[in-house]
């Protein structure tokens, strides 16, 4: 299993590994590569790569549809079961930390209660997040202690589950700060900040040269457009702003670079807490430097 921030080269490493080991199938753990037609901006594996090695986790939804963790876990775990049934080898390539944890760790994803949620969101708008947080403290002190009183989105969700299910939100798993042993190897790609920043900037410009603007514009022309979740994709929302005349193209591209860098740092911070990940420092060539470690882990 390979983890790492955007632009770290994990897809290349995965491809090289899979080609060297017949029977390996790649499972992309990425919240944005699940959308059909969002190819350039999500650095989705090419059709060549996908015909050479079986990929899972890609193209699971239309950009006009909302997509979330639970759906991903359903599809991805079915894919992994299939690979095991075929006696193949599953290689996970993960950029989205939550999706990975939901897939590999004991965590029961609670359901949805839209009516409850609706009410909570209205109350949050009127009364503020702090009031709801106080309520959560009364109903589920453990869950409340895990989130900032100002984090409306998380508090609303915790209350939605607690009120909707009749069970405390925190009863649905040990919590994200628990790292139980896991029966496979996790290798992390580790770059220095400046080196990764450089790679990201180059990558964004490569995406522009590869026609990202046309891709975004074509998606906008679809009747369904981009759903709330798909709209969050880096590179897409900024170029949409530009297409709507809210900023110049250069400004939009600069923003994409900046936000992608910030996102990469957030990924690092998420993954580095996980003591189960074995980090491989990379100087120049991810494939050459990581592949031996991966093969050594067998």
Q: What are phi and psi of 177, to 5 degrees?
A: -90, 5
Query: How far is residue 116's CA from residue 162's CA, in Å, rounded to a whole number?
Result: 10
Q: How far is the CB of 107 from RNA (least distance, A)?
A: 5
Structure tokens at 216: 């975004």
Sheet strands (E) in the chain: 2-3, 24-29, 55-56, 89-94, 186-190, 277-281
186-190 and 277-281 as β-strands: parallel, antiparallel, unpaired?
A: parallel
**177 vs 296, which CB is nearer to RNA?**
177
Write down the least CB distance from residue 112 to RNA, Å.
5
Using alpha carbons, select from 262, 48, 290, 275 the residue that is nearest to residue 189.
290
What is the closest distance, in whole angstroms, from the C-beta atom of residue 23 to RNA in the complex?
Answer: 27
| Nearest CB to RNA, comparing residues 21 and 227 | 227
Nearer to RNA, 17 or 99 (CB): 99
- From CA 216, how far away is CA 237, in angstroms rounded? 9
Shortest Cβ 237–RNA spacing (Å): 8
Report the sign of the C-alpha dihedral through residues 192, 194, 200, 205, in that order: negative
CB-nearer residue toward RNA: 135 or 152: 152
Judged by CB, which is closer to RNA: 132, or 234?
Answer: 234
Q: How far is the C-alpha of 13 from the C-alpha of 295, rounded, in Å?
A: 11
User: Given the complex with RNA, which of 177 and 221 has the nearer CB atom?
Assistant: 177
Q: Residue 270 CB, nearest distance to RNA (Å)? A: 5
> Smallest distance, Å, CB 89 to RNA?
24
Q: Considering the complex, what minimum distance in angstroms separates the CB of residue 284 from RNA? A: 21
Position of tokens 């491809």? 15
Nearest to 78 by CA among 134, 27, 43: 27
| Cβ neighbours of 218 (radius 10 Å) | 11
In the complex, the residues that contact RNA under the rule CB under 7 A are 6, 30-33, 41-43, 66-71, 95-99, 107-112, 143, 146-148, 150-154, 157-158, 161, 169-170, 172-177, 193, 228-229, 232-235, 258-263, 265-267, 269-270, 272-273
Residue 249 CA neighbour count, 13 Å, CB half:
8
Query: Residue 120 or 291: which CB sits closer to RNA?
Result: 120
């Amino acid at each position: 299993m390979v983890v790492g921030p955007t632009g770290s080269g994990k897809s290349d490493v995965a491809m090289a590994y899979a080609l060297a080991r017949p029977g390996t199938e790649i499972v992309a753990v990425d919240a944005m590569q699940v959308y059909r037609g969002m190819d350039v901006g999500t650095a989705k594996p090419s059709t060549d790569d996908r015909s050479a090695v079986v990929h899972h986790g890609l193209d699971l939804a239309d950009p006009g549809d909302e997509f979330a963790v639970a759906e991903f876990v359903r599809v991805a775990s079915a894919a992994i079961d299939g690979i095991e049934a075929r006696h193949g080898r599953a290689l996970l390539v993960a950029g989205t930390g939550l999706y990975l944890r939901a897939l590999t760790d004991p965590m029961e994803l609670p359901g949805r209660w839209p009516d409850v949620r609706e009410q909570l969101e209205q109350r949050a708008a009127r009364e503020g997040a702090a009031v709801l947080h106080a309520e959560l403290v009364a109903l589920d002190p453990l869950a409340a202690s895990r989130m900032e009183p100002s984090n409306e989105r998380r508090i609303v969700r915790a209350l939605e589950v607690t009120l909707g299910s009749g069970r405390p939100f925190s009863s649905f798993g040990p919590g994200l700060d628990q790292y139980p042993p896991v029966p496979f190897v996790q290798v992390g790609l580790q770059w220095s900040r400046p080196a990764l920043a450089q790679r990201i900037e180059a990558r964004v410009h490569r995406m522009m040269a590869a026609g990202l603007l046309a891709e975004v514009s074509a998606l906008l022309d679809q009747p369904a457009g981009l759903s709330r979740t798909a709209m969050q994709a880096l590179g897409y929302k900024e170029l949409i702003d530009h297409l709507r005349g809210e900023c110049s193209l250069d400004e939009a591209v600069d923003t994409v670079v900046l936000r992608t860098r910030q996102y990469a740092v957030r990924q690092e911070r998420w993954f580095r807490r996980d003591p189960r990940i074995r980090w491989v420092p990379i100087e120049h060539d991810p494939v050459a430097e990581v592949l031996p470690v991966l093969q050594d882990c067998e």
